[in-house]
Amino acid sequence: MRNTARWATAGTLLTAAVLGPLSGTALATPAKSDSLYAPTALTLTVAKGETAASSVPLRAVTLNCQPTGGSHPAAAKACADLFKAEGDFNALPVNEDRMCPMIYDPYVVTAEGVFDGRRVSYERTFGNSCVLGAEQSHVFAF
């Protein structure tokens, strides 16, 4: 009986010695950002349908600005367009020279995340993929 108690105590001490350094406030401290700019990190989707809730995304990418990156194929151009529009997706540059057919085949786009430190939640439906391409510049061109 005494041997069992001795091993139980030794096991408890060993566990405390191993886990002791892992517990404490060091793991609870928040991460610091080394960036000089407010964050911009967005998830962008394109889906065929009238609403995001009723559609399955065809494509999705991430877009990070400052520094530019993510999985967006034209991240630098998309970030430039967004900053020029001051984060207003409805103010993105429009290609007015593009002619599109008047066929209703809706596409819906979404943007979720943070732009220049502000939360973003955007959804818009376009009449067809041609109109989407003409009105959303580089941001949803993926």
pLDDT in tens, 48-82: 999 999 999 999 999 999 888 899 999 999 999 99
Mean predicted confidence (pLDDT) in 29-41:
63
Q: Is 92 part of a structural domain of the chain?
A: yes
Q: Is 8 part of a structural domain of the chain?
A: no
pLDDT in tens, 88-110: 999 998 888 889 999 999 999 99
88 exposure class (CB count in 10 Å sphere: 0-12, 13-18, 19+): exposed
The total number of structural domains that make up the chain: 1
Q: What is the CATH number of the domain that holds 76?
A: 3.30.350.10
Q: Is 47 part of a structural domain of the chain?
A: yes
> Is it the case that residue 39 has pLDDT exceeding 70?
yes
Q: How would you label 10-48 residue by residue, b for 16+ Cβ within 10 Å and e otherwise? A: eeeeeeeeeeeeeeeeeeeeeeeeeeeeeebbbbbbbbe
Q: Is 127 part of a structural domain of the chain?
A: yes
pTM, rounded to two decimals: 0.71
Whole-number average pLDDT of the chain: 81
Q: Is 28 part of a structural domain of the chain?
A: no
Q: Is 19 part of a structural domain of the chain?
A: no
Tell me the residue range of the domain where 130 lies. 40-135
